[in-house]
Amino acid sequence: MSTGVTISSISDYAILGCGSVGYAVAEELVEQGKDVFIVDQDDSRVESLRDQDLDARRADIREPEITELVADRDVVLILASDVESNKRAVEHIRNGDDDQFIVARASDPVSGDELSELGADIVINPSSVIAESALRALESGELEYNAGKLADLVEETSTRLAIITQDSPDPDSIASAAALQAIADHLGVESDIIYLGDVGHQENRAFVNLLGIDLVQWDEIEDHSVYDTVALVDHGTAGEMELPVDIVIDHNESESESEPEFVDIRPNMSSTSTIMTKYIQEFDMNVSEEVATALLYGIRAETLDFKRDTTPADLTAAAYLYPFANHDTLEQVESPSMSPETLDVLAEAITNRDVQGSHLVSNAGFVRDREALTQAASHLLNLEGVTTTAVFGIADETIFLAGRSKDIRINIGKVLADAYGEIGETAGHSTQASAEIPLGIFTGIEISEDTRDTLLDLTEEAVKRTLFDAMGVEGTSNEGSNGG
């Protein structure tokens, strides 16, 4: 085919083999105003096609003469149900003309490869096409059913809906909660977005402040009984709140033993924001600029700007949100100022870094802002030769650890689970994870002002040894300290 010509601009087509598939294609092309020439070896079928004013000719597509019959056609679709006949036709046509665009029908991946090797430009497998279409229809039907069930549960709320995020919510959790709150408002139900811990990361604080998302701290609520419906978004459990959970929406499997009435967990999507965008679309709502911006940022944050574990669903959700989002606000969220506490933690982590091969572990000491550990781990990942980082610190008689990795051979979530899963709480996935370990497990020493330095030394040794072992690093000699 000549350079610059597109399929949509072509008007001359030949269809070889006009069974059910070929006939369906012929009907669509004629509807589009294309000139279609049909070849089939069945006399009665050819006569029937002619009766419908279609240009049809009887011939055997396995014979070399087929080349001359379709010589003036730019595109040849070889769609017989007999794959061996299709192979012969491709071979003959390709030997006669290298410029014609050939689409050929296969029956399985093996015959598809053979047709490609013979010169077919595109190979289609009707079974695969039907399966993909069926799965798309199933997904659409399932979403419609789930949306109806979710609406019924939300509308049953007589007083107020509690939308519970992660304890220290990240952008995906906050955005997903904002989306569910918008859905509740669309259904005429009042709700609050509730968190248990704190919004410590300055990027998350900027995110909340710039978009005007109203978050409520659980301990500041005077009357918890006002919430007769409880939803968890991007969060596994509401155990500490001691509330029965009605709704769970997440992209990660939950270990909770509760059995909510509505559960939508989709590990095949990279963010809960993607799931909530699908619901926004299904409810046919006018998405606000604030919610669209939040959801788009939630997807981008969870996929590292589409560089990590991104699925087609994430991309289509982002494409839907893009026109409605405020991109100036997104830019401000992504470039927040660094707090003095974060700067201190980062400086401490740089000073105390221990590098073994491409793995870095650092002790940031006693910290007030736990989110600063996350930022320190991310910043240290930019050091030359470093592909995995873990920064830990002590606060509230607990060791908090943040891990990051860009090494495809390492799942940092699994590393932390292997290292500390039996003695503390861990969470995360292949590129980012966190752990919380009771301090006394490592030391057995009662915490006081007199024992702080001793605790720090003992903790550093124990945490590093356990973590490097889980990473598969042989030993932790002092020669590796400070990147040496």
Per-residue confidence at 359, pLDDT binned at 50, 70, 90? very high
- Residue 478 domain-assigned (yes or no): no
The predicted structure's pLDDT at residue 331: 82
CATH number at residue 435: 3.10.310.30
Examine the fold and report which residue of 313, 333, 353 is the final residue of a domain before the chain moves on.
333
- Residue 225 domain-assigned (yes or no): yes
Task: Please give the residue range of the domain that contains residue 89.
Answer: 13-124
Per-residue confidence at 2, pLDDT binned at 50, 70, 90? very low
Domain count along the chain: 3
For the whole prediction, is pTM greater than 0.85? no
Per-residue confidence at 390, pLDDT binned at 50, 70, 90? very high
- Residue 176 domain-assigned (yes or no): yes
Per-residue confidence at 87, pLDDT binned at 50, 70, 90? very high
Q: What is the pLDDT of residues 28-62, one digit of tens each?
A: 999 888 999 999 999 999 999 999 999 999 999 99
- Contacts (Cβ under 8 Å, ≥6 apart) of 425: 435, 436
Mean pLDDT across the stretch 97-122? 90
Examine the fold and report which residue of 333, 366, 390 is the final residue of a domain before the chain moves on.
333
**Residue 247 above 70 pLDDT?**
yes
Q: Do 284 and 409 fall into the same domain?
A: no
DSSP-assigned states of every residue in 141-200: HHHHHHHHHHHHHHHT-SSEEEEE--SS--HHHHHHHHHHHHHHHHTT--EEEEESS---
The predicted structure's pLDDT at residue 477: 42
Q: Do 105 and 253 fall into the same domain?
A: no
- Residue 45 domain-assigned (yes or no): yes
Residue 426's alpha-carbon distances to 4, 248, 420, in angstroms, are 55, 20, 7
The conformation of residue 430, written as its DSSP 8-state character, comes to S
Of residues 387 and 210, more confidence is placed in 387
Mean pLDDT across the stretch 279-301? 92
The predicted structure's pLDDT at residue 163: 94
Q: Do 280 and 149 fall into the same domain?
A: yes
- Residue 134 domain-assigned (yes or no): no
Q: Do 102 and 176 fall into the same domain?
A: no
The predicted structure's pLDDT at residue 480: 45
Examine the fold and report which residue of 333, 363, 379 is the final residue of a domain before the chain moves on.
333
CATH number at residue 86: 3.40.50.720
